[in-house]
Structure 1
Amino acid sequence: MTSNMVRAIILSIAFITIPAFSAVYQCTIDGVVTFSQLPCGEDAKEITIPATNVAQSTGAKQGKTIDEDIDSYLATQKIDRNIALIQREIKQLQDTLAAQKTKINYMTQDTANRMGASSIADAIAQRTAQVEQRIKPQIEQYQQQLEALNTLKIQLNQ
């Protein structure tokens, strides 16, 4: 073979395009989003990612746009995970508040007397207010974080 033929073969191999897309599967395993080339679970969703054709690429700008899209997608996924964590924290605080209110409602006259309250109803109201003062600000703080994350997510998707 001549060197020209070898060059021609190498160049033609270099410009052979891969298929128009490659498949990626997304699954949730133990609450963690996982990506794989093969189906990774019963809930596997196929995500089609178009391949970049080097011969048709218009330069670094197109590659940068793809990188930005990937970064945006990954950031959105991270925000979704943080939202889920915060929602669980809020639910846990709400459950704690409800459980403590229920426990307070079983207060006895003896406990009310030790608190210096004039009646059981006053003691219950006083203790409930204390518990709410401690837990409600935490819930409100988490809700503000949720609003900020949702706003950030909307901005990323635009």
Structure 2
Amino acid sequence: MNRFILLITCTALPFFSFSQNTTVYKCVIKGVPTFSQTPCSKDAEQITLKEINIIEAYKSPTQANNVTDSSVDNFLEVQQIEREISKLLLTLKQTEKTYQEQVKQVSYVTQDQANRLGASSIADAIAKKTAPITSAYESKVTRTQQQIDALRQRKQLLSQIP
């Protein structure tokens, strides 16, 4: 039981302040200001040092008003948005490259392949094979561009917030 009381006392002790206002005495001895706990001469100046609550002294005024500084959060979010936009732009470049490769492969159609597709000519067969590729490419580019535009709008909005 004694150990339990001792444990609670030692645990709670740092949360209590036993210090009070402190009195010191200032004397000038041989032209040098000297401070002491006891009067050092008859003309000693008594100085009272008030207890300082360190937590209150260093408390930020924005914390007292429950206002948070979101500029750092906004900066970090803008940086994240820029990274996402860069990734999407790279995706667009890769999509363009893939599209060009697929169109190039389609251009190697022979007359025999065109006949199997039921096309009247090689050009007609190329057009038939290219149409779905172009449609898929344009759809993907449109979606990606919309994502980029939305991210840029969000970035602009965050840049306007102080």
TM-score range, shorter chain: 0.5 to 0.7
TM-score by length of 2: 0.61
CA deviations 1:53-111 (Å, max 9, x no partner) are 947x4343787352x11111111111112111211211111111010111111111111
Determine what percentage of the aligned residue pairs are the same residue: 34
1:130 aligns with 2:116: no
Q: How many residues align?
A: 115
Which residue number in structure 2 is paired with residue 99 of structure 1?
Answer: 101
1:80 aligns with 2:82: yes
CA distance in 1, matches of 2:68, 2:114: 67
Structure 1 residue ranges, 4+ long, deviating more than 4 angstroms after superposition: 8-12
1:145 aligns with 2:162: no
Q: Secondary structure at the match of 1:117?
A: coil
Q: Give, in angstroms, the shift of residue 130 of structure 1.
A: 1.5
Which residue number in structure 2 is paired with residue 118 of structure 1?
Answer: 120
CA distance in 1, matches of 2:155, 2:61: 30
Amino acid aligned to 1:94: E
CA distance in 2, matches of 1:150, 1:61: 35
In structure 1, list runs of 5 or more residues that go unmatched.
Answer: 16-52
In structure 2, list runs of 5 or more residues that go unmatched.
Answer: 1-18, 24-48
In the TM superposition, what are the counterparts of 1:29-108 in structure 2 within 5 Å?
54=58, 57-60=60-63, 64-66=67-69, 68-108=70-110
TM-score by length of 1: 0.62
Q: Give, in angstroms, the shift of residue 138 of structure 1.
A: 0.9
Larger Rg: 2
Contact map agreement 2:62 2:68 (CA 8 A) in 1: no
RMSD: 2.8
Amino acid aligned to 2:107: N
CA deviations 1:5-38 (Å, max 9, x no partner) are 7xx69849x59xxxxxxxxxxxxxxxxxxxxxxx
